[in-house]
Amino acid sequence: MCSRMLSIILILFSTKVLADGMVVDKVYHPYVLPNEREFEWRLMSRQTDANSLIGQRIAYGHSISDTVMVEGYLIGEKTETDDFGLQAYEIEIRWMMTEQGELWADWGMLFEVEKNHASNDWEVTTGIIFEKEFGRTSLTMNLFGIYEWGDNLQEEFETEFRLKYRYRWLPQVQPAIELYTGEGYFGIGPAFMGIQRFDGQKQLKWEAGFISELSSSGKDHSFRVTLEYEF
Amino acid sequence: MLKYIYYLLCIFLCFVSQKLSANTTQYHLTLENNIFTPSELTIPVNEKVKLIIYNKDKTAEEFDSFDLNREKVLFPNKKTTIFIGPLSSGQYEYFGEYNPGTARGMIIVEVNNAN
């Protein structure tokens, strides 16, 4: 119990580091189903007093075993001065390390490699995914380490921490609170997710969140939407 | 470098802190002709249990339950393990995604009389 508490404390304090760009993205769950295939679309919008940024991702994913999911992303961004364009590519591997419900908590790992489309800039992300059920609620946490380098990037190591506490009210409406930290950013806000099942393995999942940055006095709001069609 | 060590330490402590689920009581379900048997299974309250489902059919099924927060593929002619609980008393429905009309069942959680 002591080591468990210590690890949680370490995780929380380890988030005083940083990440470039949008910290608000998605809180990953550790679960993978065999034969799972999906299309995914994400929208992230961040507005501050000085700037606004919109990012979109489209992805196709396929589980290659009972516990490993591989997903490829095309990433686009739009700023106040630039129109939407292809910004980067990414390959992501998610590994379900433990059977759901077998241990005290469920664990997974994430590995990502991202390359900028127009330049020789790279980003590698890896980290742990945690989920624990408390009755009809679930606590999900992600701790990621990010290493960046390239022609236009200063070589650096950063960390990000994401947290979601969700109430499984109805399949279609599961309200949540989300928290994101990284590079001096500390944001928290309401979110929800839902799922609608169709025939067989076909199902549509949605997530949305409105996150406000708390550590600065100015305006800094992020809005995120994710749609996943699994088949 | 220190950050990296710190990060590895977090991961290590997370794993060390896990408690393996020894002595988990086992319960058995069978899927045959797209029907779960028994259709109602009673388990004890506030106890983690190991549910072993034997899919005797020639096709895969997907065990799905929002109540239990579980989703698992049941491969044909194989046994699949699903860990559920600890749960409070009540009734928890589940179904097979490919045959939701017939492949349905319920886990009943009671203080006593677990079968």
Tell me the C-alpha distance between A111 and A231, whole Å.
23
Shortest alpha-carbon distance between residue A210 and chain B (Å)? 25
Instruction: Report the pLDDT value the prediction gives residue B114, as an integer from 0 to 100.
Output: 55
Domain ranges of chain A: 2-230
- Give pLDDT, residue B13: 56
Yes or no, beta carbons of A11 and B10 under 8 Å apart: yes
| For residue A160, pLDDT beyond 80 | yes
Global confidence as pTM = 0.86
Using the beta-carbon criterion (under 8 Å), do B48 and A101 form an inter-chain contact?
Answer: yes
How far apart are alpha carbons B20 and A100 in whole angstroms?
13
Residue B30, domain member (yes or no)? yes
Ramachandran class of B69: left when φ > 0, alpha when ψ lies in -120 to 50, beta otherwise: left
Q: Do A33 and B72 touch (CB under 8 A)?
A: yes
Please report which confidence band the pLDDT of residue A104 belongs to, taking 50, 70 and 90 as the band edges. very high
Q: Helix crossing, B2-16 with A2-13: angle to 10°?
A: 150
Quote the minimal CA–CA distance from A207 to chain B in Å: 17
Give the CATH number, domain containing residue B43.
2.60.40.420
CA distance A222 to A45: 5
Task: Map A190-201 to HEC letters.
Answer: EEEEEEEECCCC
Could you tell me if residue B15 is inside a domain? no
Report if residue B92 sits inside a domain.
yes
Q: Under an 8 A CB cutoff, do B4 and A157 touch?
A: yes
Q: How confident is the model at residue B17 (pLDDT cuts 50, 70, 90)?
A: low
Which one of B8, B18, B24, B87 makes the best mutation probe of the A interface by having the most chain A beta carbons within 10 Å? B18
**Shortest Cα distance, chain A CAs vs residue B21, angstroms:** 6
Give the tokens for residue A33: 């189903």
Q: How many CB atoms lie within 10 A of CB A110?
A: 19
Q: Quick check: is B68 in a domain?
A: yes
A171 upstream amide cis, omega within 30 of 0: no
- ipTM for the complex shown: 0.81
pLDDT confidence bin for A77, thresholds 50/70/90: confident
Amino acid letter at B38? P
3-state secondary structure B77-96: CEEEEEEECCCCCEEEEEEE
A192 vs A170: CA distance, rounded Å? 11
Give the pLDDT band of residue A21 (cuts 50, 70, 90): low
Residue B2's pLDDT band (cuts 50, 70, 90): very low
Mean pLDDT of A64-76: 96
pLDDT of residue A121: 95
β-strand partners of B5: none
Q: Kindly report the nearest CA distance between residue B56 and chain A, in angstroms.
A: 19
Question: Does B8 lie at the interface with A, CB-CB under 8 angstroms?
Answer: no
Does residue A44 carry a pLDDT above 90? yes
In this structure, whether the domain defined by A2-230 belongs to CATH 2.120.10.80 is answered with no
For residue B9, tell me if it sits in a domain.
Answer: no
Name the domain count of chain B. 1
Beta strands A68-79; B90-96: pairing state:
unpaired
Would you say residue A48 has pLDDT above 80? Answer: yes
Spell out which residues of chain B touch residue A3, defining contact as CB-CB under 8 Å.
13, 16-17
Mean pLDDT of chain A: 89
Domain of B39 in residue numbering reads as: 22-110
